[in-house]
C-alpha cells in the first residue's frame, strides 16, 4: 500500500516538480534534488515507494540518454563492464516488497497445485 506522502512524491515526479521545494518543471528532477537538497535519485525512489529501476525523469530525457548511450556503444566508446550482468541484485524497499509479493504468489500457486493432485 502507498502512503499519501508516496503518492504526493510520485505526482511531483510525474509533473517534473521537486517534491521538496516544488520548483520546476525539470527534465531530470533528481539532478535538481541532488544539487539543491543533497537528495539522490535512489532516495527519491524510496520517498515515492518506487523500485530502483523505475524511471523518475521525463520521457524526453530518458529517450535522449538512451540515444546517446546507443551511439557511444556503437562507436565502441562505451562498453558493458565484464561481470556487470547477473551479479548480486539489491532492491529498494519497494523492490523488496514486489519480490515478496511474487514469492508469496508462487507459494500459493504451488500449494494449490499440490492440493489439486
pTM (predicted TM-score): 0.62
Question: pLDDT by residue (tens digit) across 20-35?
Answer: 999 999 999 999 999 9
Question: What separation in angstroms does the CA of 78 have from each of 70, 73, 81?
Answer: 9, 5, 9
Residue 70 cell numbers, joined:
546507443
φ, ψ for residue 27 (rounded to 5)? -70, -40
Question: What separation in angstroms does the CA of 95 have from each of 48, 63, 79?
Answer: 12, 24, 27
pLDDT level of residue 5 (50, 70, 90 thresholds): very high
Q: How far apart are CA 95 and CA 82, in angstroms?
A: 25
pLDDT, residue 53, reads 83
For the chain, which residues make up each domain, given as ranges? Answer: 1-78
Amino acid at each position: 500500500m502507498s502512503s499519501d506522502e508516496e503518492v504526493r512524491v510520485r505526482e511531483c515526479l510525474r509533473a517534473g516538480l521537486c517534491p521538496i521545494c516544488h520548483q520546476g518543471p525539470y527534465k531530470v528532477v533528481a539532478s535538481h534534488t541532488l544539487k539543491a537538497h543533497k537528495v539522490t535519485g535512489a532516495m527519491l525512489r524510496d520517498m515515492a515507494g518506487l523500485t530502483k529501476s523505475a524511471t523518475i525523469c521525463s520521457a524526453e530525457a530518458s529517450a535522449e540518454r538512451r540515444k546517446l548511450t546507443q551511439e557511444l556503444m556503437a562507436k565502441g566508446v562505451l562498453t558493458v563492464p565484464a561481470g556487470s550482468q547477473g551479479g548480486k541484485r539489491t532492491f529498494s524497499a519497494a523492490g523488496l516488497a514486489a519480490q515478496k509479493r511474487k514469492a508469496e504468489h508462487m507459494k500459493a500457486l504451488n500449494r494449490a497445485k499440490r492440493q489439486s493432485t
